[in-house]
Amino acid sequence: MTRPGRVAPTVVRNGDVELSCTVVGDGPLVVMVMGTGSPGRVWHAHQQPALVKAGFRVVTFDNRGIAPSSECADGFSMADMVADTAVVVEHFGGPALVVGTSMGARIAQELALSRPELVRAAAMLGTYGRSTPLLTAYNEGERALIDAGQKLPDAFHAAITAHMNLSPTTLADDRSARDWLDIIGFGGQSQSAGVRAQLALPERDENRLASYGGITRPCLVVGFADDRTLPVFLAREVADAIPGAQYEEIADAGHFGYIEQPAAVNTVLLDFLAAHRD
């Protein structure tokens, strides 16, 4: 039974894989793609309501690896996740305006490159086109913890997550820092087999910047000025690689910029989507 005030999910299938989707609003289609380890409902805090209010039909979904979508614990590829997103766009009547963050931004880039007929325009937040030695080491560490069946102490996990994903400006305010630590702690540590499979994408370390010169759809790249997880120079590289891409940078924002500075993010996102809604 659906709880009052909630929208019943729509299940979209890509072969044997089930993708749990939520669609709200009327108007031009926007499909939003979340990052590693996070469910699609993260968009519901700030971006989905703003887009619906602006007259868009917004689809969010749980990527494979994130229940209740198929976890696919045996592993999968970035190409599989791009194909999932393509199926979602087709199911809801694309082409779509596609918005992604982090890993979801990379999916949006690859979709715009491989299936341009499905993408009206694409916006990528906190994105990257290649790995770095530090990113590779961090990813390997996350996988090693899961493989060893170990978790960080909850307070330490919250502190590390806040440090890696929030701006020093946010964390300099003691009340704000305590609130964020509580929120992160409440969310717990996601160590499911599906998340482990997302962390092990075989293409994760591949340098795709040269290929992005072939993207022909209008693109917005949003960098978060204080992003420690995917430093802002990586987003600038993507913008430089995509012909004609628009680049915007959000001040006082870390990797969670879309929930840390939602007003600023929504302003640049809505301006871009409005310019390409027809």
In the chain, the N- to C-terminal Cα span, in Å, equals 37
CA 159 → CA 5, 37, 253, distances in Å?
33, 18, 17
Q: How far is CA 94 from the centre of its chain?
A: 19
The CATH superfamily of 10-151+189-275 is Alpha/Beta hydrolase fold, catalytic domain (3.40.50.1820)
Tallying the residues shown for the chain, one arrives at: 278
Could you give the residue ranges of the DSSP H alpha helices within the chain?
47-53, 78-91, 103-114, 133-147, 154-165, 168-171, 174-187, 193-199, 232-241, 257-260, 262-275
User: Which of helix, strand or coil describes residue 28?
Assistant: coil
93 and 60 Cβ atoms separated by less than 8 Å: no
Strand order across the 57-61 sheet: 10-14, 17-24, 57-61, 29-33, 96-101, 119-125, 219-224, 246-250
Q: Which residues pair with 221 in a beta bridge?
A: 124, 247
Tens digit of pLDDT per residue, the chain (278 long)? Answer: 333 346 778 999 999 999 999 999 999 999 999 999 999 999 999 999 999 999 999 999 999 999 999 999 999 999 999 999 999 999 999 899 999 999 999 999 999 999 999 999 999 999 999 999 999 999 999 999 999 998 899 999 999 999 999 999 999 999 999 999 999 988 877 779 999 999 999 998 999 999 999 999 999 999 999 999 999 999 999 999 999 999 999 999 999 999 999 999 999 999 999 999 98
Q: Which residues are catalytic?
A: 102, 227, 255
